[in-house]
Amino acid sequence: METTLTNGLVPIEPVTIPTSGVATQLYVQANSFAASATNCTLYYYLADDNNMQMIQGNLQMTDEQFATWGTDNSVLYTIVADEKGLVLL
């Protein structure tokens, strides 16, 4: 992913959220975890063009996903996008 982050939001292919509108951005945050952890939970939300949060959720990373994270935080966006069927732009 080569997209520049704005407030932690990255552009996605537009997705219609029933009763909410069209989401065009994804935000992802890794929740706190112990130094000995082998996985963690990701908090995410989809936002519209005005950065307004539309829908949110949590996703448990697998041990394998956690191991590939390393120092490249863009991996977190890819994990959520893949799991939720989103396309990063």
**Per-residue confidence at 6, pLDDT binned at 50, 70, 90?**
low
19-78 residue pLDDT tens? 899 999 999 999 988 888 889 999 999 999 999 999 999 999 999 999 988 888 899 999
The domain ranges of the chain are: 9-84
- Residue 7 has a pLDDT of 82
Q: Which two tokens stand for residue 54?
A: 């539309």
Asked if residue 4 lies in contact with residue 21, where contact means CB atoms within 8 angstroms, the answer is no
CB under 8 A, 24+ apart: contacts of 26-30: 26/77, 26/80, 26/81, 26/86, 26/88, 27/53, 28/76, 28/77, 28/79, 28/80, 30/76
Q: Using the 8-state DSSP alphabet, how is residue 42 labeled?
A: E
**pTM for the full predicted model:** 0.88
